[in-house]
Amino acid sequence: MKPALNQLLAFLMAALLPLLALLAPPAALALMDPPAEQFLCEGETLVATLHNGAVDAPGIPNSEAGTVPGAFLVVEWRGMSLQLPRTNNAGAPSYTDGRWWWQAQDPDHPEFAQRTGWKGDIERYQCQAQR
């Protein structure tokens, strides 16, 4: 394609995509991923990004906060990138892979912990939202 045509197509895509979001039904908007959030955890920056994931059973109970089973959270902290699946626990959404745990019942001070050692001891990390 010619460069001018490529530029026109890129402009139209950039201009029209936000308008398509306005036309989407509310249920579709609820499944859009929110922006990443930053926290200070034990003095180091942590980035948490929620992904609503592929949901094949939206009627499952506990869809609090617009998340349902199939959603997952990506936590980037101390050089690690953790993908924590959404649990189906009652209450505020929580995410765990069996070792790491995240729950933001208090969005300004989420619970972040990991199971350590062979005894299953729990190490909790103090986190605070950076807004």
* Helix, strand, or coil (residue 66): helix
Longest dimension (CA), the chain: 64
Which amino acid appears at position 63 of this protein?
A: S
Together in a domain, 14 and 35: no
Together in a domain, 39 and 64: yes
Together in a domain, 50 and 80: yes
Quote the CA–CA distance of 69 and 130 in Å, as a whole number: 27
Predicted TM-score of the model (pTM): 0.68
Quote the CA–CA distance of 82 and 96 in Å, as a whole number: 10
> Sign of the CA dihedral 26, 24, 58, 62?
negative
The two three-digit tokens of residue 17, written as one number: 């995509």
Quote the CA–CA distance of 70 and 80 in Å, as a whole number: 22
Residue 115 DSSP class: E
Together in a domain, 76 and 107: yes
Residue span of the structural domain in which 65 resides? 31-129
Together in a domain, 86 and 119: yes
Each residue's pLDDT expressed in tens, for the chain with a length of 131 residues:
566 655 655 554 555 445 445 444 444 444 578 899 999 999 999 999 999 876 555 555 556 666 666 789 999 999 999 999 988 888 888 999 999 999 999 999 999 999 998 888 999 999 999 98
Together in a domain, 1 and 63: no
Together in a domain, 88 and 115: yes
